[in-house]
């Protein structure tokens, strides 16, 4: 018998008997109505297309800005910023730990000058910007807001998302800085800041994508993502926020794999679980608080360096799964990303893939095309039940944070990743071009390379900027941030003033490291 990626059996034929006792009015509802199985808007793509958002960033701010302009000119409707590892870890480009990593896997951002250059010529009041940044999320969000204010764009007009999901970093990705307790404090304060100053900005994007890239199954992706979201909601409530005050600005981030049917079922089940969780556990009443709004990225982990053109096919199937599943925005990976950073042509092809789906197929012309499908409805029910059971196991360990500290989620994902690796090595799991239908000799490909002088130029610019600024003002502002972090005051206002005074990302994060310490992972509990 075949099984889904999550290990759920796939029957050769589904029929009415597989939905015995199934009430469509309860399980489905109407599009735009509770429990949002069929989508969060009544018209979905018939009234508004998904946001075409391409993830990009490399080298210097100027180089990344040129790529953003190219994507917008090609029809992109949203930007998604990739930051380099030093920025993600809260280090300046001239820090010893940054050596060799500046601008490699994303754009280097050290201070407000870099953010000015990054968005030069881009209308911030008309382009939605997503930032894949977590531990220093508040820092980058404030820099973005400061640049907008310099241009006369008020916070009320800014739209976009800051990922700000540090819990999944402890589970799967590893770009954490602080221990969970102060990290959650910073998350809650960022939620409060967005509510008061950036009302159209999503203050958090709870991410299952990176867990999936680490080997999580669809069931694990949904369960661990929603368990983390529950932890964030509890933190916000404990900080005095009402569920309906921040619930409408929560967002999510999922992967789309090539297993199209299960992926469609996954998105539908996730919406249903979240709607019921927000209403029944947290007492949310605003319909917007119950809606699981999510961005999707196609599965980078499924791309292959062998016969890379095949990735165009994989990405198309994955993007179709995301659209059929009702995503609000979508990033399609470039076919050459398993080799190096995407070339301009590859990035444009990825963008065009979405445009073909949006304009040349009939998929956007009806809401939830798979509704009532015996197979998809049964898969939705099975996936929902399995995800709820795994969420219960997290709760039994004291909730997401306690389970993370015990290594539970990490161990579960690693077990699944090992299973996938064994199945691939044995040939049970077919990867076209890798363990079947391989070429004896791969065709040459010329990848994009980051200018090796980028790091030296970034370091030199940083030295110059430190010399030009008012050092006493920076020191005073950082002192205010230190006092707030050591007490109970909101750290974002003094953080914003420090950044306005031209403090660097590394200096701001350094102050928080001094006060809050850094996280040290524990071994999994098996």
Q: What is the pLDDT of residues 194-241, one digit of tens each?
A: 999 999 999 999 999 999 999 999 999 999 999 999 999 999 999 999
Q: Mean pLDDT of all residues in the chain?
A: 95
DSSP 423: H
**Residue bearing the bigger pLDDT, 24 or 509:** 509
Give the mean model confidence (pLDDT) for residues 165-179: 95
Residue from 177, 287, 280, 184 nearest 229 by CA: 184
Whether 253 contacts 294, CB under 8 Å:
yes
Which run of H or E residues covers position 82?
strand 78-82
Burial grade of 468 (CB within 10 A; 0-12, 13-18, 19 or more): exposed
Give the mean model confidence (pLDDT) for residues 340-353: 93
Whether 67 contacts 122, CB under 8 Å:
no
d(C-alpha 9, C-alpha 11), whole Å: 6
Q: Residue 43: count other Cβ atoms within 10 Å of its Cβ.
A: 11
Give the mean model confidence (pLDDT) for residues 77-103: 96
Give the mean model confidence (pLDDT) for residues 14-43: 92
What pTM was estimated for this model as a whole?
Answer: 0.94
Residue from 239, 153, 132 nearest 191 by CA: 239
Question: pLDDT exceeding 70 applies to what percent of the chain?
Answer: 99
d(C-alpha 161, C-alpha 95), whole Å: 28
Per-residue pLDDT reduced to its tens digit, 414-450: 999 999 999 999 999 999 999 999 998 888 888 778 8
Residues 6+ apart with CB under 8 A from 406: 397, 522, 524, 525
- pLDDT interval class at 524 (50, 70, 90): low
Distances 247 to 191, 293, 318, 420 between C-alpha atoms, Å: 10, 11, 28, 36
Whether 349 contacts 457, CB under 8 Å:
no
d(C-alpha 460, C-alpha 444), whole Å: 36
pLDDT of residue 21 exceeding 90: no
pLDDT of residue 525 exceeding 70: no
Question: What is the set of domains in the chain, with CATH numbers?
Answer: 73-78+110-426 (3.20.20.240), 454-516 (no CATH)
Question: pLDDT exceeding 90 applies to what percent of the chain?
Answer: 91
Per-residue pLDDT reduced to its tens digit, 490-521: 999 999 999 999 999 999 999 999 999 999 88
Distances 100 to 85, 136, 455, 459 between C-alpha atoms, Å: 10, 21, 8, 12
Q: Residue 436: count other Cβ atoms within 10 Å of its Cβ.
A: 9
pLDDT at position 523 is 63
Task: Report the 3 state secondary structure along 344-384.
Answer: HHHHHHHHHHHHHHHHHCCHHHCCCCCCCCHHHHHHHHHHH
DSSP 179: -
Give the mean model confidence (pLDDT) for residues 254-272: 98
pLDDT at position 445 is 81
pLDDT at position 526 is 42
């Amino acid at each position: 018998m075949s099984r889904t990626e999550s290990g759920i059996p796939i029957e050769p034929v589904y029929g009415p008997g597989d939905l015995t006792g199934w009430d469509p009015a309860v399980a489905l509802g109407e599009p735009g109505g509770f429990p949002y199985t069929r989508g969060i808007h009544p018209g979905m793509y018939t009234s508004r297309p998904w946001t075409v958002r391409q993830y990009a960033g490399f080298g210097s701010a100027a180089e990344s800005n040129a790529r953003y302009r190219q994507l917008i000119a090609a029809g992109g409707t949203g930007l998604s910023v990739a930051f380099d590892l030093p920025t993600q870890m809260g280090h300046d480009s001239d820090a010893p730990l940054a050596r060799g990593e500046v601008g490699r896997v994303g754009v280097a951002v050290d201070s407000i000058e870099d953010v000015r250059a990054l968005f030069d010529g881009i209308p911030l009041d008309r382009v939605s910007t997503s930032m894949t940044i977590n531990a220093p999320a508040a820092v980058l969000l404030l820099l973005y807001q400061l640049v907008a204010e310099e241009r006369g764009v008020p916070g009320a007009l800014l739209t976009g998302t800051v990922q700000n999901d540090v819990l999944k970093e402890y589970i799967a990705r590893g770009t954490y800085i602080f221990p969970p307790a102060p990290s959650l404090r910073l998350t809650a304060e960022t939620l409060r800041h967005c509510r008061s100053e950036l009302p159209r900005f999503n203050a958090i994007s709870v991410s299952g994508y990176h867990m999936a890239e680490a080997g999580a199954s669809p069931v694990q992706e949904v369960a661990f993502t929603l368990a983390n979201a529950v932890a964030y909601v509890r933190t916000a409530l404990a900080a005095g926020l009402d569920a309906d005050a921040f619930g409408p600005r929560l967002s999510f981030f999922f992967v789309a794999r090539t297993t199209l049917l299960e992926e469609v079922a996954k998105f539908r089940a996730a919406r249903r679980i979240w709607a019921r969780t927000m209403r029944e556990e947290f007492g949310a009443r605003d319909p917007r608080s119950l809606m699981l709004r999510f961005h999707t990225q196609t599965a980078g982990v499924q791309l292959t360096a062998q016969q890379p053109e095949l990735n165009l096919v994989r990405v198309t199937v994955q993007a179709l799964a995301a659209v059929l599943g009702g995503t609000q925005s979508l990033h399609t990976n470039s076919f050459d990303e398993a080799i190096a950073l995407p070339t301009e042509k590859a990035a444009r092809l990825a963008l065009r893939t979405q445009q073909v789906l949006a304009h040349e197929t009939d998929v956007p012309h009806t809401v939830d095309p798979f509704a009532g499908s015996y197979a998809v409805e049964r898969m939705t029910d099975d996936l929902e039940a399995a995800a709820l059971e795994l969420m219960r196991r997290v709760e039994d360990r004291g909730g997401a944070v306690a389970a993370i500290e015990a290594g539970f989620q990490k161990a579960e994902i690693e077990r699944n990743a090992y299973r996938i690796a064994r199945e691939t090595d044995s040939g049970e799991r077919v990867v076209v071009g890798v363990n079947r239908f391989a070429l004896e000799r791969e065709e040459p490909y010329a990848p994009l390379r980051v200018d090796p002088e980028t790091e030296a130029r970034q370091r030199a610019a940083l030295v110059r900027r430190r010399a030009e600024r008012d050092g006493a003002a920076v020191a005073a502002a950082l002192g205010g941030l230190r006092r707030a972090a050591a007490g109970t005051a909101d750290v974002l206002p003094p953080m914003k003033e420090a950044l306005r005074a031209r403090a660097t990302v590394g200096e701001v994060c350094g102050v928080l490291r001094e006060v809050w310490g850094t996280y040290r992972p524990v071994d999994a509990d098996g």
